[in-house]
Amino acid sequence: MIRIIAFLGGLGFVAALLVGALMPREAAEEAVTEKFFKEHKHVSFTTDGPLGKFDHAQLQRGFQVYKEVCSACHSLRLVSFGDLTGIGYTPGQVKTIATEWTQEQPSINPDTGEAATRKNLASDKFPSPFANDVAARAANNNAVPPDLSLMAKAREGGAAYIYSLLTGFQEPPADLPKDSRPGPGLHYNPYFPNLNLSMAPPLVNDGQVTYGEGAPKPTVDQMAKDVSAFLIWTAEPKLEARHRAGIATIIFLLIFAGLCWGSYQAIWANKEH
Amino acid sequence: MAVVETDPSANAGMEDGVRRRDFINIAAVSFAGVGVVAVALPLVNQMNPSADVLALASIEVDLSAIQPGQAIKTSWRKQPIFIRNLTPAEIEDAKKVDVGGLRDPESLEARTKPGKENWLITLGVCTHLGCVPLGAAAGELRGDFGGYFCPCHGSHYDTAARIRKGPAPKNLVVPEYAFTSDTVVQIG
Amino acid sequence: MSFPWAKHYEPTHPFMQWMDQKLPLPRLVYNAIGAGYPVPRNLNYFWNFGVLAGAALVIQIVTGIVLAMHYAANGAVAFDSVEHIMRDVNSGWFLRYAHANGATMFFIVVYLHIFRGLYFGSYKAPREMIWLLGVVIFLLMMETAFMGYVLPWGQMSFWGAQVITGFFSAIPVVGEPIRQWLLGGFAPDNAALNRFFSLHYLLPFVIAAVIILHIWALHIPGSSNPTGVEVKDEQDTVPFHPYYTAKDGFGLAIFLIVFAVLLFFAPNMLAEPVNYVPANPLSTPAHIVPEWYFWPFYAILRAFTVDFLWVPAKLWGVIAMFSSILLLFILPWLDNSPVRSTTYRPLYKWFFWLLMFDIVILGICGMKPAAEPWVRMGQIASAYYFAHFLIILPIVSRIERPLPLPNSITEAVLAKHKAA
């Protein structure tokens, strides 16, 4: 009885599917974005691979780029000033960075109760440059500059994508269809899935940020690499600890597997199976 | 019936073989035990205070706005803190007391920093059963000894926040603190 | 079930004797997985996956309980609470990655366990109950995994919940009220998130209870084996302890190595980047994709593109998707072969491997966007899936000529060694 119902059900599903499969379809046109979109560039970071580590000097340069260029529009709300000790700053330096940070922390005037701001403490998270999304849109041509804390994990291609985007602004190619040309307030970038984005190229000149003594020259390419590396850290501050723990664990488990294999062989030595 | 054991002569090395076999089994189980402990450590440690809680373990307070005779209430490690700027009269009163006769003997000197004995920084938690005593805010009752008064069970603290009357066993706790400048103190 | 030659539990230590009188748990363990449970001697590594599935469940429960100490199930703070775990909680990153990748390991192991059941005919009499309980466990696992994925409240969490609960609206008349009842609202929001957290915490313990029934049901007939020939006498078996405890220990070590490689070196390989963006009900991600273990079912859901026989395509898709799992319940009665193990079923073997290939194709189609050629491929692959179980299997199992079976397990083992 069940078999009959099942058989008929099976016929039903198969028929419905084959009708769908045999339906003629219009040849799908290649979407404009597919034709012009470019996969992210190949770029390596010191954090790549199972033995990847942070380069604190690079992370500090990247932080400088964030501070002087990106923080005007992009928040970093999951990172606290105190976390910066993780990229090599001393607690004293962190306190200075916090108190001198342009954007202050929202607070309340203790006398009138009105909204006010106060200086940042090390325990504060980085404050957003905008009071809320509405303010962010109003200041940015109806686009909200996304928070950057997790950006290196929140996009296909991760930090390589960020690097490609920052160095990928260019004139639209001649054969780009008119509909896909960037309108007012938009900028063509083939690394961006929709080809045109609201962010103007943030890194335009070499030397836009001044690096310290002994640092590589702050070319656009170098600044893009450094800030991308910084964003790997903001997204995964525990990356190095994870790699270290991983190596130790794998070594332990390999030895353990060896011992278990020996034990298994010893126990089964006399039993054919 | 076919025999499925291997040739019995293989068991001639049994004595030695048993010990060797036991050893590998013991080694494997011990390694597993070590692994279990190694994994248990993070599982237990995750309950310890997290980094953001530890970041707030220490705070800085600016004292410049507190006039003599005034006190403020603030929060440290989620507990109330009383910071009082003692008047010369209050300091006099505190010093006049016979320390040896106190329930919890402590001099004002021992409860303040040298050169800063007008600054009395204590937890705002009654040492009896944990209520927040009155006296820090303007207009609050200050009890029979002019310091703090706990309304829950009637503990009276003097101008140095020492217990004088009532059920509390100890003086209000003085937390670890240090002056980082003339007007800024770091607590914790 | 006891084979007559099973060893008997005889405690020697006075404390163990006392325990045996008051609460005979040690006896239960001895008989269930200890030296008192005779098991066929010829089990291959595919028999390791049951224990590994149990281990995976324990890992999920332990990591889940500690994560629940830090997670907050409210839409305003859920995403941030997970980031708090990743950044501030001591070893929090380890716990979170262990739980997320542990789910992947759980499904890998369970799929291999099901593969074993399908290939070796473990679902056939007298073991149908074990199989039915197993399908129940599988369903519970999928519900638990789905709700767990919603908890971080990322873009994919929200939109995945939107899509899955949207299924119910395909049911005529009662569908939409059911959907709103499930969600406690009109779209996934706090009501849904909170109840998913509550149920996500509960279901693993329900799974544990069903697993106990599953193992209990197994012990009635005892374990099957790769030949499909039942145990005849003592020579056919070995006591579970130490023979299979040792083998399972080794299997566990390999499992942990694979788990560790994922967790420590590729923790986000199977994750969707867009789930690191907080949920936004006003913005749909470019591709809504479920976790990899749902891909074949997602492909079946999307394969129905035309209204057929007065049933709308969307409803066909929902019914088919659920049927694709529910048909496993009647598998023992669809397969009429008197022979258990596919090893001895040469005709069926072809179709079996075709099914495996088909499921892989379905998985790929589930992952790809709903565009050609994946749509057509998914339709043909789904058609084969249903045809295999509901049409081909009943017929082939009746008409095929199986190979001659060995007379006993021991005979098979000896033959293998003579040939070796």
| CATH number for A210 | 1.10.760.10
Which other chains touch chain C, taking contact as 3+ CB pairs less than 8 Å apart?
A: A, B
Residue of chain B minimizing CA distance to C94: B42
A187's CB contacts (< 8 A; 6+ apart) are A169, A196, A197, A198, A199, A200, A201
| Interior angle at CA A112, CA A106 and CA A116, nearest 5 | 15
Residue A200 and residue A253 share a domain? no
Specify if A223 maps to a domain: yes
Question: Would you call C90 and B1 a contact, using CB atoms and an 8 Å cutoff?
Answer: no
Specify if C153 maps to a domain: yes
- Asked whether C159 and C149 are in contact (CB, 8 A), the reply is no
| Interior angle at CA C53, CA C48 and CA C59, nearest 5 | 125
Integer Cα distance of C205 and C144 in angstroms: 11
* Chain C residues whose beta carbon lies within 8 Å of the beta carbon of residue B4: 235, 410, 413-414
- Asked whether C184 and C198 are in contact (CB, 8 A), the reply is no
Residue of chain A minimizing CA distance to C313: A16
* Chain C residues whose beta carbon lies within 8 Å of the beta carbon of residue B46: 66, 69-70, 89-92, 95
Assigned token pair, C187: 């779209």
Listed ranges A30-39, A213-222, B15-24; the one with the highest mean pLDDT: A213-222
Q: Which of A33, A84, A271, A273 to mutate to test the interface with C (most CBs of C within 10 A)?
A: A273
Whether the model clears a pTM of 0.80, i.e. scores above it, the answer is yes
CB–CB contacts below 8 A, A to C = 164
* Chain C residues whose beta carbon lies within 8 Å of the beta carbon of residue A156: 273
Would the pLDDT of A151 be above 60?
yes
Would the pLDDT of B9 be above 60?
no
Q: Which of B1, B32, B48 sits opposite C90 (nearest CB)?
A: B48
Would the pLDDT of B8 be above 60?
no
Integer Cα distance of C405 and C120 in angstroms: 13
* Amino acid A25: pLDDT: 79
| Torsions phi, psi for B163 (to 5 deg) | -70, 130
Assigned token pair, C89: 């909680």
* Chain A residues whose beta carbon lies within 8 Å of the beta carbon of residue C276: 150, 153-154, 235
Interface of B with A (CB under 8 A): 4-6, 10-11, 17, 20-21, 24-25, 27-28, 31-32, 34-35, 38, 52, 55-56, 60
Residue A224 and residue A244 share a domain? no
Residue C297 carries which side chain, given as an amino acid letter? Answer: F
Residue C295 and residue C221 share a domain? no
**Catalytic annotation on B128?**
no
Instruction: List pLDDT tens digits, range B49-81.
Output: 999 999 989 999 999 989 999 999 999 999 999
CB–CB contacts below 8 A, B to C = 45
Question: Would you call A267 and B28 a contact, using CB atoms and an 8 Å cutoff?
Answer: no
* Amino acid B138: pLDDT: 87
Specify if A251 maps to a domain: yes
Integer Cα distance of C384 and C351 in angstroms: 10
Domain ranges of chain B: 11-45, 54-187
Q: State which residues form the domain around A244.
A: 238-267
Place of tokens 């953001």: B52
3-state secondary structure of A176: coil
Specify if C198 maps to a domain: yes
* Amino acid A26: pLDDT: 77
Instruction: List pLDDT tens digits, range A61-83.
Output: 999 999 999 999 999 999 999 99
* Amino acid A74: pLDDT: 97
Q: Which of B153, B175, B178, B182 is catalytic?
A: B153
- CA atoms within a 13 Å half-sphere pointing along the CA-CB vector of C70: 32
Residue B14 forms contact with C (CB below 8 Å): no
Residue A244 and residue A230 share a domain? no
Q: Considering its fold, how many domains does chain A have in total?
A: 2
3-state secondary structure of A122: coil
Residue A172 and residue A55 share a domain? yes
Residue of chain A minimizing CA distance to C42: A273
Q: What angle, 0 to 180 degrees and rounded to 10, lies between the N-to-C axes of helices C374-387 and C313-326? A: 50
Higher pLDDT, A182 or C192: C192
Q: Is A101 exposed, middle or buried (0-12, 13-18, 19+ CB in 10 A)?
A: middle
pLDDT range class, residue A35, cuts 50, 70, 90: confident
Would the pLDDT of B6 be above 80?
no
Specify if C16 maps to a domain: no
Question: Would you call B46 and C89 a contact, using CB atoms and an 8 Å cutoff?
Answer: yes
Residue C353 and residue C232 share a domain? no
Q: Which of C77, C88, C241 to mutate to test the interface with B (most CBs of B within 10 A)?
A: C88
pLDDT range class, residue A179, cuts 50, 70, 90: confident
Q: State which residues form the domain around C92.
A: 44-285
Residue C137 and residue C107 share a domain? yes
Specify if A10 maps to a domain: no
* Amino acid A2: pLDDT: 86
Specify if A109 maps to a domain: no
In chain A, pLDDT over 90 holds for what percent of residues?
Answer: 82
* Chain C residues whose beta carbon lies within 8 Å of the beta carbon of residue B2: 410-411, 414
* Amino acid A141: pLDDT: 86
Task: Give the residue from C243, C258, C285 where a domain finishes.
Answer: C285
Q: Which of A9, A17, A83 sits opposite C390 (nearest CB)?
A: A9
Place of tokens 């008192």: C36
* Amino acid B12: pLDDT: 44
Specify if C31 maps to a domain: no
Q: Which residues of C are catalytic?
A: 219, 223, 247-248, 291
Assigned token pair, C332: 């023992």
Which other chains touch chain B, taking contact as 3+ CB pairs less than 8 Å apart?
A: A, C
Give CA separation, C298 vs B28, C140, C318, C325, in Å. Answer: 43, 17, 10, 12
Q: Considering its fold, how many domains does chain C have in total?
A: 2
User: What's the gap in Å between the CA of B90 and the closest CA on chain C?
Assistant: 45
Assigned token pair, C221: 């007939």
Beta strand B184-187 with A115-118: parallel, antiparallel or unpaired?
unpaired
- Asked whether B42 and C67 are in contact (CB, 8 A), the reply is no
Task: Give the residue from C224, C256, C285 where a domain finishes.
Answer: C285
* Chain B residues whose beta carbon lies within 8 Å of the beta carbon of residue A252: 31, 34-35, 38
Specify if A197 maps to a domain: yes
C268's CB contacts (< 8 A; 6+ apart) are A153
* Amino acid B2: pLDDT: 46
Task: Give the residue from C236, C263, C285 where a domain finishes.
Answer: C285
Place of tokens 């088909």: C358
Which other chains touch chain A, taking contact as 3+ CB pairs less than 8 Å apart?
A: B, C
Specify if C20 maps to a domain: no
Residue A258 and residue A179 share a domain? no
Residue A86 forms contact with C (CB below 8 Å): no
3-state secondary structure of A225: helix
Question: Would you call C379 and A25 a contact, using CB atoms and an 8 Å cutoff?
Answer: no
Q: Which of B34, B46, B53 to mutate to test the interface with C (most CBs of C within 10 A)?
A: B46
Residue A175 and residue A149 share a domain? yes
User: What's the gap in Å between the CA of A61 and the closest CA on chain C?
Assistant: 22
* Amino acid A23: pLDDT: 85
- Asked whether C41 and A273 are in contact (CB, 8 A), the reply is yes
* Amino acid A273: pLDDT: 79
Assigned token pair, A253: 């488990």
Integer Cα distance of C383 and B1 in angstroms: 51
Assigned token pair, A1: 């009885």
Residue A75 and residue A194 share a domain? yes
Q: Which of C286, C383, C413 sits opposite A193 (nearest CB)?
A: C286
**Bridge partner residues of B156 (DSSP):** B149, B165
Residue C302 and residue C274 share a domain? no
Which stretch of DSSP H or E encloses residue C68?
helix C49-68
Integer Cα distance of C247 and C41 in angstroms: 12
Residue C145 and residue C250 share a domain? yes
Positive or negative, the Cα torsion across C311, C315, C320, C323?
negative
pLDDT range class, residue B10, cuts 50, 70, 90: very low
pLDDT range class, residue B4, cuts 50, 70, 90: very low
* Amino acid B16: pLDDT: 55
- Please give the CATH superfamily to which domain B54-187 belongs: Rieske [2Fe-2S] iron-sulphur domain (2.102.10.10)
Residue C354 and residue C240 share a domain? no
**Helix (H), strand (E), coil (C) string for chain B:** CCCCECCHHHHHHHHHHHHHHHHHHHHHHHHHHHHHHHHHHHHHHCCCCCHHHHHCCCEEEECCCCCCCCEEEEEECCEEEEEEECCHHHHHHHHHCCHHHCCCCCCHHHHCECCECCEEEEECCCCCCCCCCECCCCCCCCCCCEEEEECCCCEEEECCCCEEECCCCCCCCCCCEEECCCCEEEEC
Residue of chain C minimizing CA distance to A48: C265
| DSSP for residue A80 | B
Place of tokens 């059911």: C178
pLDDT range class, residue B1, cuts 50, 70, 90: very low
Question: Would you call C386 and A154 a contact, using CB atoms and an 8 Å cutoff?
Answer: no
Integer Cα distance of C279 and C268 in angstroms: 18
Instruction: Say which CATH number the domain at C106 has.
Output: 1.20.810.10
Question: Would you call B42 and C242 a contact, using CB atoms and an 8 Å cutoff?
Answer: no
Q: Which of A80, A263, A270 sits opposite B28 (nearest CB)?
A: A263
Interface of A with B (CB under 8 A): 80, 82, 121-123, 252-253, 255-256, 259-260, 262-263, 266-267, 269-272
Which of 219-238 (A) contact C at CB < 8 A? 235, 237-238
Residue A259 and residue A171 share a domain? no
Instruction: List pLDDT tens digits, range A90-134.
Output: 999 999 999 999 999 999 988 899 999 999 999 999 999 999 999
Which stretch of DSSP H or E encloses residue A105?
strand A105-108
pLDDT of chain C along its 420 residues, tens only? 578 999 999 999 999 999 999 999 999 999 998 999 999 999 999 999 999 999 999 999 999 999 999 999 999 999 999 999 999 999 999 999 999 999 999 999 999 999 999 999 999 999 999 999 999 999 999 999 999 999 999 999 999 999 999 989 999 999 999 999 999 999 999 999 999 999 999 999 999 999 999 999 999 999 999 999 999 999 999 999 999 999 999 999 999 999 999 999 999 999 999 999 999 999 999 889 999 999 999 999 999 999 888 899 999 999 999 999 999 999 999 999 999 999 999 999 999 999 999 999 999 999 999 888 999 999 999 999 999 999 999 999 999 999 999 999 999 999 888 876
Specify if C4 maps to a domain: no
Give CA separation, A214 vs A16, A54, A61, in Å. Answer: 69, 18, 12
Would the pLDDT of B22 be above 90?
no
Residue C135 and residue C267 share a domain? yes
Residue A218 and residue A255 share a domain? no
Residue C381 and residue C294 share a domain? yes
* Amino acid B153: pLDDT: 95
Integer Cα distance of B82 and B70 in angstroms: 10
